[in-house]
Chains A and B, each alone.
Chain A
Amino acid sequence: MKQQKARSNLDKTIKYIMVIIILAVFIFFAALFIMLLQRSQLILSRYPVWELLFSSEWDPNKGLYGFLPAVTGTFFVTVFSLMIAVPISILSAVYISEYMPSAVKSYFQAFIDVLAGVPSVVFGLCALLVLVPFTRDVMGPLFGVNTTGMCVFTAALVLAAMVFPVIISLTVESLSILPIGLREQFLSLGATKWQLIETVLFRAAGPGIISGIILGFGRAFGETMAVVMVIGNKNILIPSVFSPGQTLPGLIVGSFSEMMSVPEHQSALIFVSLILFIIVLFFNILANIIKNKLKSRWRYE
């Protein structure tokens, strides 16, 4: 009896610790938001918001702060990279979890984790060495365009490579945790393996896969160094995938440490962070609503 009391006390203590930690995270979250808001006051008081968001002229030295190219550029690159990454990583995740012999599988998963752990600077260095010449000398002529190789296309490829491990590991995880009975019942009806995957597994593992995609989006959206190194960083509305573009994190990382002592410029860059923060927040709320809708529809039990 005494022991039981000790156990439940411990349980309660840990719960309080959890609550404290969660509160701390909340405070951090709120403080971050407040700091961004407060630090971007200066720029907001000097220029109207709609002018900042919908002008495409960027020249801090002349007092022109137009974030439209960077906002659209960020979206374009992220969506483009997810279009490459999502099908490839889901298909390979299915192959890894359903077709691969289990001896190979564990090594392969280890490989994927290594890929996930590779720092983005290293991705950038390799992209400069391999992908930029590839785009310039192979893809450019293939589509009949002149490109320096530093363009949206290359950036999307790099981002896709960085998103692979996120989506793959979460998809594999949610597929391999499904009960074996689910598969056996369906296969015993004479279905092929792909039919099983398509009609049963994708639904049962659906929420996990969608989480993977959301997290992949998060990684791609906030990625800085690797993209900055290959995208060409030009403040224009992107005319084609082989032209250079600009991203929001690129704006910040390119000049924050050089210009943080100039109040207006600093404030503009912090406003960029605020935009990023709000976009990510908005997107995640939306994705969460969609996920919950699908979750209730795709229940397999």
Chain B
Amino acid sequence: MNKYIKESIFRVLMIISVFIVIAFLVIIIGVNIVKGGIVLINEPAVIFTAPGPKYLLGGEGGILHAILGSILMVIPSTCIACAASYLIALFLQVDYIKNRFSNKLRVVFDVLWGIPSIIYGIFILNILIVTNRRGSLGAGIITLALLQMPVIVRYMDEALNSVPDGIRESAYSLGATRLETAFTTAKYALPGIIAGILIGMGRAMGDAASVIFTSGAGNSMPKGVSKSVSSLPVLIFQQANSFYPSVREHAYAASFVLIIIIIILNTISRICSKHFQKYTAGSDR
């Protein structure tokens, strides 16, 4: 086969694949924007009001408790997971331990990634029972931090791994310590790191199974670290099963809000990543 024909065949295949991926994204975001958008245009108050006692029975109220609950759980847990994951990912690099060991350590994180979130929930629930505590915002934060840590670690690790050795070596040759070198390589690997954080956050943001067990899932507004909170995915689950059509419509509004929050966080982190990368060796790539 002529190499030019092959080239064009694969080019067409690639374009088709890209379109398939775009199609999925458009379907998912489109469905939510159309369905949820309609609800929000008709009743914009839904996102600003707390639910009344009869909210799930077609009564008045909104989804503010779940929005706040989600944000209050996801942002601290992401911060914790990021800090821990960054240190772990650095540790997995050649600077600290031999490749032989780091490869074995990686398996641990791959396994943690592969197990369903409900198992995390069961684990934390068992700890809560043993220590005689109830599901709370704090427990939810810890669960979500554990849940997203393996994701972020593995992404950061892959990103740091793909930094050319030259950068690391030149940093060392200037007398930088391992930590200082790490910051240089981190800048180079920033897009990958950001992608990891976003995927981890997405996992935490969208997880219902583990949160039901650990954060309590009440109807009340978040009141404190040791009080129960609800979150958007749990609320979507409740709403989608309601026998009042108006409440079911709100499920789309809730998932619309969820996607909007993710898009906003995504944009913010992209802007940050651009800002930091301006001063780096990798900025021209």
Contact (Cβ within 8 A) A119 B258: yes
Q: Given A92-B18, A116-B195, A221-B114, A7–B258 Cβ distance below 8 Å?
A: no
Chain B binder among A63-71, A142-150, A159-167, A234-242: A159-167
Identify which of residues 8-37 in chain A touch chain B, using a CB-to-CB cut-off of 8 Å.
Answer: 8, 10-11, 14-15, 17-19, 21-22, 25-26, 28-29, 31-32, 35-36
Q: Which of A123, A166, A195, A280 contacts B115 (CB 8 A)?
A: A280
B103 interfacial contact with A, CB 8 Å = yes
Compute how far the CA of A280 lies from the CA of B88 in the bound complex, rounded to whole angstroms: 21
A220 CA to B126 CA, complexed, in Å: 26
Query: B116 on the interface (CB 8 Å rule)?
Result: yes
Task: Point out the residues of chain B lying under 8 angstroms from A215, CB to CB.
Answer: 110, 113, 154
**Assuming the A-B contacts A117-B199, A118-B28, are A173 and B192 also in contact, with contact meaning beta carbons closer than 8 angstroms in the complex?**
yes
Contacts of B45 in A (CB 8 A): none
Confirm or deny: A89 has a beta carbon within 8 angstroms of a beta carbon on chain B: yes
Whether A79 is near chain B, meaning CB under 8 Å from some CB there, is: no
Residue B107 CB within 8 A of the other chain: yes
Q: Which residues of A96-128 are within 8 A (CB) of B?
A: 96, 99, 106, 109-123, 125-126
Of A113, A121, A177, A191, the contact of B195 (CB 8 Å cutoff): A113
Interchain CB contact under 8 A, A121 and B10: no
CA separation between A89 and B13, bound complex, in Å? 11
**Interface flag for A281 (CB, 8 Å):** yes
Asked if A48 is an interface residue, CB under 8 A from chain B, the answer is no
B116 partner, pick from A112, A249, A288, beta carbons under 8 A: A249
Q: Which residue of B lies closest to A122 (CB)?
A: B255
Q: How many residues of B contact A (CB 8 A)?
A: 93
A191 to B116, CA, bound (A): 46
CA of A115 to CA of B25, assembled, Å = 6
Q: Which parts of B52-94 form the interface with A (CB within 8 Å)?
A: 84, 87-88, 90-91
- Taken together as a complex, chains A and B put the C-alpha atoms of A14 and B93 apart, in Å, by 14
Least CB distance, B92 to chain A, in whole angstroms: 9
Check if A252 is an interface residue, CB within 8 A of chain B: yes
How many chain A residues touch the partner (CB < 8 A)? 98
Residue A225 CB within 8 A of the other chain: yes
A interface: dominant SS: helix
Q: A residues within 8 A CB of B240?
A: 125
- Among residues of A, the one whose C-beta sits closest to the C-beta of B232 is A119
Interface flag for A257 (CB, 8 Å): yes
Asked if A201 is at the interface of the complex by the 8 Å CB criterion, the answer is no
The yes or no answer to B186 lying at the interface (CB within 8 A) is: no
For residue A120, give the distance in angstroms from its CB to the closest CB of chain B: 6
Specify which chain A residues have a CB less than 8 angstroms from the CB of B16 in the assembled complex.
91
Report if B275 contacts A (CB, 8 A). Answer: no
**Which A residues from 216 to 272 make CB contacts under 8 A with B?**
217-219, 221-225, 249, 252-253, 256-257, 270
B249 in the interface, Cβ–Cβ < 8 Å? Answer: no
Q: How far is the CB of B223 from chain A (nearest CB, A)?
A: 24
Whether the Cβ atoms of B251 and A173 lie closer than 8 Å is no
Please name all residues of chain B whose beta carbon is closer than 8 Å to the beta carbon of A221 when the two chains form the complex: 114
Decide: B258 and A285 in contact? CB cutoff 8 A: no
- Cβ of A95 under 8 Å from chain B: yes
Given A110-B270, A257-B212, A270-B122, A208 and B162 touching (CB < 8 A)?
A: yes
Out of A88, A166, A177, A225, which one reaches B209, CB within 8 Å? A225
Interface residues of A (CB under 8 A from B): 7-8, 10-11, 14-15, 17-19, 21-22, 25-26, 28-29, 31-32, 35-36, 39, 87-89, 91-92, 94-96, 99, 106, 109-123, 125-126, 129-130, 161, 164-166, 168-170, 173-174, 176-177, 179, 191-195, 197, 207-208, 211-212, 214-215, 217-219, 221-225, 249, 252-253, 256-257, 270, 273, 276-277, 280-281, 283-285, 287-288, 292
With contacts A95-B15, A119-B205, A125-B236 known, what are 11 further pairs, Cβ within 8 A? A21-B87, A91-B14, A116-B198, A119-B207, A119-B262, A125-B251, A129-B31, A195-B6, A211-B158, A219-B113, A249-B118
List the 6 shortest-distance A-B pairs measured between CB atoms, nearest first: A119-B206, A117-B202, A218-B114, A280-B114, A95-B14, A11-B177
* A-B pairs with beta carbons under 8 Å apart, 17 shown: A29-B108, A29-B111, A95-B14, A114-B266, A119-B207, A119-B233, A125-B236, A130-B27, A130-B31, A170-B192, A194-B11, A211-B154, A218-B114, A219-B114, A256-B118, A281-B107, A284-B111
